[in-house]
Amino acid sequence: MKIPRILIAAGASGSGKTLITCGILQALCSRGKKVSSFKCGPDYIDPMFHAKVIGTKARNLDTFFTDEKTTQYLLQQNAKDTDISVIEGVMGYYDGLGGIDTKASAYDVARVTKTPVIFIINGKGMSLSAAAYLKGFAEYRKDSRICGVILNQISPMMYPQLKKKIEEELCVSVLGYVPKVDNLFLESRHLGLVMPQEIESLNKKLKEFAAQLEMTLDLDQLIEMAEGAEELEEIEIEIPSLKEKPVIAVARDEAFCFFYEDNLELLRKMGAKLIEFSPIHDKKLPSEANGLLLYGGYPELAARQLSQNVQMRKSIEEAIVSGMPCMAECGGFMYLHETMEDMDGQAWPMAGVIKGRAYRTEKLGRFGYIELEARKEQMFGMEAGKICAHEFHYFDSTSCGDCFYAQKPLRKRGWDCIHGEYRMIAGFPHLYYYSNRKIPEQFLRACVEFGKGNKV
């Protein structure tokens, strides 16, 4: 299976990887290419930005969440009908689990998907040392797959000589340079908050940046490297399919905007019909819903609006109390509390399903990859097995739940989490369904039973 693809990596965060990836994506789109983009790791924000502002089909690839076969499957499924796929790396190229293993690193994704790598070096304050830096990364693993380099924040005057030295001494092609850019700075926090009125301005700036890259990067060579990527064996995986077609209400608006689109697509492949609604703007759940999904986002920024929509709060509370299956994570979990604080620390009444309060903290308390294992009987049963997830939040709860145990990989640290009952799974962890397809299957089966008027 031929999939033209390239992975953009760097030696550390802050090297310009995200900005340059966005510029390359925009340049390829401006050339009329149909582009699919991927982000390594559990990041919601970059794929959201790629999709909303640049207009690419954007997904995640994560070798902690999925085994090698499933990772290749997701690449193949999402790269279909596109001309080229661009994968953005995460952190430093070899940085993986626990900071001490390459698993789940950008390198690991490149290895599993057999993708050529273009390495970005932030050359600020550096000249020939860039060659030594690159040599270290290219040779740290024999299968590094690094075949090209882009020099960021390099003087145009220095570039020709530096390109010549690197290509003479290393078997790596220098694809160009990026001068210092002062008028376009992308913060991760801002990316998650792109509003409709901002998209046009950002898109204009990115198009200007892409036009600049056309002059300083060899995009033709980049495309040639992508087209030379090794062919992959076509992968198929087993996905359960339900005879009944449950209808699932999915919260999506300004407050609830963090989604793994592959999670939603997996539910559809299993037979679910998804209907989106807004806890901010709508007054009640869709009447035909058999189940409810409340994902993460920024409910703390819309606490007043969420609280003042009393009809929706009551609609959700009544649905869950009546036995409608519900999966809620992070921001959605916070919304189910009796009260939730906003960014100023003011508490607002919420749905009242979780007896406790969600409150703001000053720093990340529990974050990163986790493996979840059931400790009590609940909607998924005790035999579903482990599911991979991650936590990332500046809020906490007086009632985090104790139905599951979260274990940090390669670490001794772990903690209790998640309220789990016959009708509801709610907690801070973000679940990745492809890591254990029994989990979404059990949820959908519970929704089918509820639709028939049966208790789960």
Q: Which residues are catalytic?
A: 330
Q: How far apart are CA 381 and CA 394, in angstroms?
A: 30
Indicate the burial class of 326 (C-beta count within 10 angstroms; 0-12, 13-18, 19 or more): buried
The candidate with the shortest Cα–Cα distance to 292, out of 255, 323, 260, 334, is 323
Tell me the backbone φ, ψ of residue 82, rounded to 5 degrees.
Answer: -120, 160
| Residue 337 near residue 350 (C-beta atoms within 8 A) | yes
| Residue 380 near residue 391 (C-beta atoms within 8 A) | no
Q: Are strands 326-329 and 424-427 parallel, antiparallel or unpaired?
A: parallel
Dihedral angle, C-alpha 332, 70, 143, 233, nearest 10 °: -150
Q: What is the largest CA-CA distance in the chain?
A: 74
Helix (H) or strand (E) holding 217: none
| Residue 316 near residue 292 (C-beta atoms within 8 A) | yes
| Residue 280 near residue 316 (C-beta atoms within 8 A) | no
Handedness of CA 170, 175, 180, 182 (dihedral sign): negative
| Residues whose CB falls within 8 Å of the CB of residue 119, separated by 6 or more in sequence, listed in order | 9, 10, 11, 93, 134, 137, 138, 146, 148, 149, 150, 172
